[in-house]
Amino acid sequence: MLNNIITMLKDSFGRKFPYIRLSITDVCNFKCGYCLPNGYQKDKSDNRKFLSSEEIEKLAKGLSKLGVSKIRLTGGEPTVRKDLFDIIKILKNKSGIKKTVITTNGYRLDQIAEKLVDSGIDGINISIDSLNRDTFKTITGHDRLPEILKGIEKLQKLNFKNIKINAVLLNGINSTKKDFKEWSNFIKSNEITFRYIELMQTGDSIEYFKRYHISSKIFTDYLNENNWIFQTHGKDSGPSKNYIHPNYKGKFGLIAPYSKDFCESCNRLRITARGDLRLCLFGSTGINIRHLIQRDDQLDELKDLILKQLQFKKESHYLELGETGLTKNLSQTGG
Ligand code: SAM
Ligand code: SF4
């Protein structure tokens, strides 16, 4: 029995997990070449529905009792869910979770910026792989860059501060000094953190990976050549390495999953849209916890199960050996 005392999530390597990435749908309206090149296809072998807002509420309450302070809503594309704003409000007002943030492709950010801010969201990560309209269209299959940038301007007009932009680094597509310079110009006067994510191999993307993966060293070399300063950060602050510059309002960041120390700073667990707990983005275990978020009196059992599962979390992924685990593409686990 765990009662109501907060029991911190900790694994056998001493890592703490105050942060959960919760996918609320697998559905996506984009066709990013590295993720869903043929668009979203319904998984016919799995007819379970996505977690309801009631289930999400019970889950979040349980997680907050396990010391989780931050939940990132992701997908698929989380903004395709009609009850997105209800979910954010539940997390903000009823769950005990301190921070609710979202990762979105931003495809209708210009239309929903105000509603998002009003919902109380604490941070918005927007995926933009290129500032070149044609390149953006080629990667995502959609000519939406102007609307997305308009959405960002709206957020700024509303004085919303916690905006990050993420791009997947793709060899020969968005990895030249010209691309880096364009982003530098963008963050010069914009108080936004722009981060490159190194392309990760997934079960579905082996050929794409071989063709477009490039080490993020090309970007760190650029940062060093241009006097960006590495910002040291605490052990629990996650795997992004950030850089600052006195002449720039924004920051640069880098997420390099193939780097040697990447897993040391892991501070997150994932829960899929159908309630499978994933200990690692590239792990091979995926126990379902949905049966324990049906009633309020199941909280202790839920906490017990998650704590036990956590002891199976491995010290690192084996991505460098090509082991991608259960992950066919990141739309299933929210990236
Ligand atoms: N649809 C939303 C979006 O794109 O922001 C949220 C889900 S998406 C899976 C989350 C993040 O994962 C995005 O920033 C996306 O670029 C990134 N991503 C997807 N597949 C990836 C891969 N193979 N390697 C690296 N990052 C990937
Ligand atoms: Fe959709 Fe995001 Fe995957 Fe692109 S990265 S296909 S926007 S889920």
Whether the per-residue pLDDT at 5 is higher than 90: the answer is no
pTM to 2 decimals?
Answer: 0.94
Q: Determine if ligand 2 sits within 6 Å of the CB of residue 30.
A: yes
CB proximity list for 37: less than 8 A, separation 6 or greater: 31, 208
| Smallest CA separation from ligand 1 atom 2, residue | 104
**In whole angstroms, how far apart are CA 84 and each of 88, 158, 205, 251, 274?**
6, 20, 29, 29, 16
The tokens describing 331, both together, are 């739309």
CB proximity list for 4: less than 8 A, separation 6 or greater: 65
Q: Is 275 left (phi over 0), alpha (psi -120 to 50) or beta?
A: left
Q: Which one of the ligands is nearest to 73 CA?
A: 1
Q: What is the pLDDT at residue 329?
A: 86
Mean predicted confidence (pLDDT) in 121-138: 98
Reduced to 3 states (helix: H, G, I; strand: E, B; else coil), residue 228 is coil
Q: Determine if ligand 1 sits within 6 Å of the CB of residue 325.
A: no
Whether the per-residue pLDDT at 323 is higher than 80: the answer is no
Q: Is 30 within 8 Å of 36 (Cβ atoms)?
A: yes
* DSSP letter (8 states) at residue 230: E
Q: Which one of the ligands is nearest to 328 CA?
A: 1
Interval 22-75: pLDDT, tens:
999 999 999 999 999 999 998 888 889 999 999 999 999 999 999 999 999 999
Q: Determine if ligand 2 sits within 6 Å of the CB of residue 36.
A: yes
Total Cβ atoms within 10 A of residue 93: 9
Q: Determine if ligand 1 sits within 6 Å of the CB of residue 334.
A: yes
**Residue found by looking up tokens 């036990």 in the block:** 308
Q: What is the pLDDT at residue 168?
A: 98
Whether the per-residue pLDDT at 4 is higher than 60: the answer is no
Counting Cβ atoms within 10 Å, is residue 75 exposed (0-12), middle (13-18) or buried (19+)?
buried
Mean pLDDT over each residue of the chain, to the nearest integer:
91
Q: What is the pLDDT at residue 324?
A: 63
Q: Where are the domains of the chain?
A: 19-333
Q: What is the pLDDT at residue 245?
A: 97
Q: What is the pLDDT at residue 6?
A: 64
Q: What is the pLDDT at residue 2?
A: 46
Residue from 29, 137, 331 to probe ligand 2 pocket by mutation (most atoms less than 8 Å from CB): 331
Q: Which atom of ligand 2 is nearest to the CA of 35?
A: 3
Interval 177-232: pLDDT, tens:
999 999 999 999 999 999 999 999 988 888 999 999 999 999 999 999 999 999 97
Cα 35 to ligand 2 centroid, rounded to whole Å:
6
Mean predicted confidence (pLDDT) in 86-113: 96
Question: What's the chain's length in residues?
Answer: 335
Q: Which atom of ligand 2 is nearest to the CA of 28?
A: 1
Cβ density class 168-203: b for 16+ within 10 Å, e for less: bbbeebbbeeebbeebbebbeebebbbbbbbbbbbe
The tokens describing 334, both together, are 């929210």
Reduced to 3 states (helix: H, G, I; strand: E, B; else coil), residue 271 is strand
The tokens describing 48, both together, are 């379970």
Give me the helix-helix angle, 109-119 and 84-94, nearest 10°.
Answer: 20
What confidence category does residue 314 fall into, taking pLDDT thresholds of 50, 70 and 90?
confident
* DSSP letter (8 states) at residue 311: T
Q: Which one of the ligands is nearest to 23 CA?
A: 1
Q: What is the pLDDT at residue 27?
A: 96
**In whole angstroms, how far apart are CA 285 and each of 125, 157, 194?**
27, 43, 32
Whether the per-residue pLDDT at 302 is higher than 70: the answer is yes
At the topology level of CATH, where does 19-333 sit?
TIM Barrel (3.20.20)
Least confident of 91-105, 117-131, 250-264, 308-322: 308-322
Q: What is the pLDDT at residue 277?
A: 92
Whether the per-residue pLDDT at 335 is higher than 90: the answer is no
Q: What is the pLDDT at residue 265?
A: 77
